[in-house]
Amino acid sequence: MKAETPLHSWRWPNATRALLTHAALLAGVLALTGCPQASSPPAPDLAAAESSSPASASLLGSSTASSVAAPPARSLSTGRHRSGPTLASVCFQVQQYGVTFTLDRAYPCGQFANGDYWVTPVEGSLGKVKVLSITPAYEEGRNGLEVNPSRVDRHGFDAGADGFDETLVQTLPYSAEPNESLVKAVSIIGHDKTYLDTAVVLTVLAAAPPEGGRNVFRPPYFGQSKPLYSTNGMRLDLLPTLPALPDMPTLPELSERFARVQLDHQLWWSADQIHPVKNMPDYGAAIAMDNSVASLRLMVEGDPVERKQLAIHLVQYGIDLDAAMKGGLHFLADGGHRHGRKLVLALSALLLNDQAMAARVRDFQQGTFQEDGHLYVGAGSGIVLFGQLCTAADYWENQITGGNSRDCRDPYGYIDGGQEPGAYYQMCCTAKAFKATALALRLLPALRCIWTDDRILRYADRWVEHGAWTQPDPYQPGGNGALDNNPADGTGRWPGAHGAARDEGYYANAFADAMWAAYRSQASDTYSCSSRIEAPCNGVLIPTR
């Protein structure tokens, strides 16, 4: 059928009509078992969706069994509006955020709870979904496409970004099999950090998910395993409902921030270069604050449907991160690049009651998360200090010449690390997000049973109440480990910095600071992990290969 054929004059072939009936039955009879059930959101307001949606599918009709003739094509929302995504339809094109997937025929399609699309094979398609073209097209190393990204050190999205490997770029046409995620990037010109404008995920499933996917998370885009998690099983009852504060970010605003895929599966600082500007910040310090603000906002009263939608977007991020971590992803301490992800993973594990995901957070090894790699209990001071693990030679090279890493810890454990305590990466790019993250852990103590370590809590309190820590210190400045025997200008390497930058930091957020002022004093320092919440399904709806 040509696109210009008037849809109202077209009638369903018998095979397609049978397909729609089958899709309707699938959507109606597949039950969610073993998980707490929640009421479904109201039916979508299609008129509102058509007027404001950034994403759509070219539809050939409804999936209801009574459909006989195709209605006019519609634009479907990606989940930004309160009603949630629509139920299953069939489509020959999927359009989302300026990306168009053109298929060789009409396939059953629909949206997951976060708004991303799925498609399934049809009778006669040999169990696959054939993608003829995707616009914008891949050309000269730009606008790349990967299927089931599985490398944490290489990617196929844009040749300008570190780690680009053209062998990972999928050529078209492509016949996608079930359990494949097509991750399409759109490149950008002129940005000083990232090479991507946006990214979109289209998932191929073997069969339509229950209820057309409206209460199902998109399976992780990373790797071969594509488990489906039910949004109905989320333990939103665990969240506190604190009284609202003036000038809070709205729940829809934050949902908008996290609605697009958080393309965050690459190692090292160069991962910034494939963080799409329309999907997420490029720099970890901003990512960390966004994650903390969204988590804190979930703990404040608000419209239940809007609150659930924000939780869906955050947990979707956690599902994607968890899959990449199983594939080797970690977040080694590195200036301000890599922090903020541990909170999303802990919150996702808690709300999904996914014990395996929780274990990957709880049983971390050195170098897994920046929050742990940047904070340690000093052997000399006995308090939690800032700085990543370096050799004494690395530390002193930085102190004497300004070279090498600027966030090395004090090798003797007396003072905060970095090129200057209370400055550089301690103040600019970590302190405020550590503070906001610590508050989230205190306001939702069940998170601490997954996080397990209290260093960030102790550090945040110290930073807010005191600032940088440099006293007492027996070592002389620039002395390469020599003791300070001249107290004329104060003893130690940085005597004048003791107490500097108290509660300061770049990448600050007014709402996070207001939440601390309002609720830190009310948060208890005691909690219990003796009673874990168990669920037979462990949060998973349909595990796949």
Mean pLDDT by 10 residues, the chain (545 residues): 30 36 34 32 31 37 27 32 59 95 96 97 94 96 96 92 93 97 94 90 96 95 95 94 96 97 86 89 89 97 97 97 90 76 94 92 78 90 93 94 91 96 92 96 93 92 97 95 90 96 95 97 82 44 39
Beta carbons within 8 Å of 528's beta carbon, 6+ residues apart: none
Decide if 94 contacts 117 (C-beta within 8 A): yes
d(CA 422, CA 73): 58
Residue-wise over 349-385: b if at least 16 C-beta within 10 A, else e? bbbbbbbebbebbeebeeebbbbbbbbbebebbebbb
Decide if 349 contacts 334 (C-beta within 8 A): no
pLDDT computed for residue 86 by the predictor: 55
d(CA 288, CA 430): 9
Q: 116, 113, 71: which is closest to 94 by C-alpha? A: 116
pTM for the model: 0.82
d(CA 338, CA 269): 7
Compute and round to an integer the Cα radius of gyration of the chain: 25
Decide if 7 contacts 71 (C-beta within 8 A): yes
Tokens of 544: 């796949």
- To 5 degrees, how large is the angle CA 536–CA 444–CA 309? 70
Q: Is 257 in a helix, a strand, or coil? A: helix
281: preceding bond cis by omega (within 30 degrees): no
**Which DSSP symbol is given to 251?**
H
173: preceding bond cis by omega (within 30 degrees): yes
Beta carbons within 8 Å of 266's beta carbon, 6+ residues apart: 152, 153, 155, 163, 274, 329
Taking CA atoms, 299 is separated from 255, 296, 347, 433, in Å, by: 15, 5, 12, 17
d(CA 47, CA 74): 9
136: preceding bond cis by omega (within 30 degrees): yes
pLDDT computed for residue 204 by the predictor: 98
Strands 196-204 and 117-119: parallel
CA 68 to chain centre: 41
Decide if 319 contacts 234 (C-beta within 8 A): no
Side chain identity at 298, as an amino acid letter? L
Instruction: Supply the angle between the helices 431-443 and 510-519 in degrees, to the nearest 10.
Output: 40
Greatest CA span in the chain, whole angstroms? Answer: 94
d(CA 410, CA 112): 48
d(CA 448, CA 453): 7
